[in-house]
Chain A
Amino acid sequence: MKFLCIECDRQMEFEQRELPGDGTFGAAFRCPACGRRIALLANPMETQLVDALGVKIGGRTLTEEPLELVRSNVLGREEAFQEKPAPAGRPDWSPAAQERLGRVPGFVRGMVRKIYDEYALERRLSVITPEIMDQARTDLGLEGM
């Protein structure tokens, strides 16, 4: 999928993605010549179709987790996986963030926790809050997490 600025005859560049949490998806593209921006807005079915391919609009920003597609999309058994405990030096989780993480199904919770941990570590954030989780979802393209 390419976006062409017709006036400038230049391919637009990916700039930003938006995941409002309602199953839809948005991505902004910008013309490198004139600066004009457009937004790609996908409905839930289109969003799910892209997700089903295991690809990310705007490019992949995270290393693919094992069984990422299955864990993100299957309504599976809570205790299906036995995961290694998080190593020392991981960020803390605020009570509100922990409560929110607790609402994530056990089937995918370990993967979600790891992704937020790594996001916070990369940015030297010592505590994960719901606001940081929201920002990470948008930055990383984590639909449904």
Chain B
Amino acid sequence: MGSVRFRTYHQVEGEDASRLGEQVAAQRERVQARLSGIGRVIAIMSGKGGVGKSYVTAALALGLARRLTGGVGVLDADLKGPTAARLLGATGPVRLDEEGAHPVLGREGLKVFSMDLLLEEGQPLRWNEPGHERFVWRGVLETGALREFLADVVWGPLDLLLVDLAPGADRLEDLAELVPDLAGALAVTIPSEESARSVERAMRSALQAKVRLLGVIENMSGYACGACGHTGALFPGQAGAELAQRFAIPLVAKIPFHPTPFPPAELATLSEAVAAVLP
């Protein structure tokens, strides 16, 4: 038998029979349409887990909700370790109707959506079968879930939507693709050198994805004594200042560890500092 000659994909004119390109484009349009009433979408990112990124997101949301009268929303994009709903006092069930899935209201009237609202208490995120070769499709599903949290949640008009990303750089790149007019990202670190190295990588990825870095927030920047108010060192290092200098962006805030979360004075200071760097 001789070799078979046939035309290649691009030589065969017209859409494929399933119109997959059109289906994907429609998904993107749904995201755009849903976010059209939102003034700014800002990502809260870190290259490292355990830096208190979700706490910072919650503190920012609570503080900014008092400043931005048009409303603030929080999308918890940490699908495997969701904590935003609980931190913000938002509980389900999630209301569904023709418009979509409605965000749950948390403290200060924040609109919150999180995988935490959908999972059984204490259970990890688990996907349906097949259980083998999960590595092939799991990342695609996670991106799809993020897309639906953006497109199918009835965010309504908001001044600001904060997206609390999982540690690492991957999700920020996904978010930047889904939200081309992403207003920027705030990087969260703790003072240690290890954190600086890890967060720096994520920040470089952000720049490669053409995401504007708005500033650095150093969390657990000392320990604030509940009795006398004195702040002492908690970790060695000055990662926040170093990263800010390296990327020529502001060190927006240094948040000490408090025994009691969300002290009002800190929320006011933090939100004022962040409001100053919002585009």
Contact = CB atoms under 8 A, between A and B. Distances in A.
B229 interface: no
A107 interface: yes
B96 A45 contact: no
9 contacts: A58-B17, A69-B144, A70-B148, A73-B127, A73-B128, A74-B119, A74-B127, A83-B97, A84-B96
A49 B127 CA distance: 12
Contact of A29 (B17, B101, B126): B17
Contacts of B101: 66-67, 81
B96 A83 contact: yes
A69 B140 CA distance: 11
B125 interface: yes
A44 B137 CA distance: 11
Interface of A: 1-4, 6, 9, 11-14, 23, 29, 44-45, 48-49, 51-60, 64, 66-70, 72-77, 79-84, 107, 110, 144
A67 B148 contact: yes
A48 B137 contact: yes
A19 B230 CA distance: 66
B257 to A, nearest CB: 32
Query: What 3 A-B pairs have minimum CB-CB distances, sorted nearest first?
Result: A52-B140, A44-B130, A14-B17
Nearest to A12: B17
Given A4-B7, A53-B140, A66-B152, A84 B97 contact: yes
Interface string B129-151: 11011001110110011011100
A77 B117 CA distance: 8
B18 A57 contact: yes
A9 B129 CA distance: 38
A29 to B, nearest CB: 6
Interface in B21-42: 23-24, 27, 30
Contact of B6 (A4, A48, A55, A69): A4
B172 to A, nearest CB: 20
A45 to B, nearest CB: 5
B125 A6 contact: no
Given A1-B18, A2-B17, A44-B129, A53 B24 contact: yes
A23 B131 CA distance: 11
B228 interface: no
A38 to B, nearest CB: 12
User: Of B7, B17, B132, B137, which is in contact with the most chain A CB atoms at under 10 Å from its CB?
Assistant: B17
A48 B152 contact: no
Contacts of B133: 45
Nearest to A5: B6
A60 B20 CA distance: 9
Contact of B145 (A11, A74, A83): A74
A133 B27 CA distance: 27
A82 B93 CA distance: 6
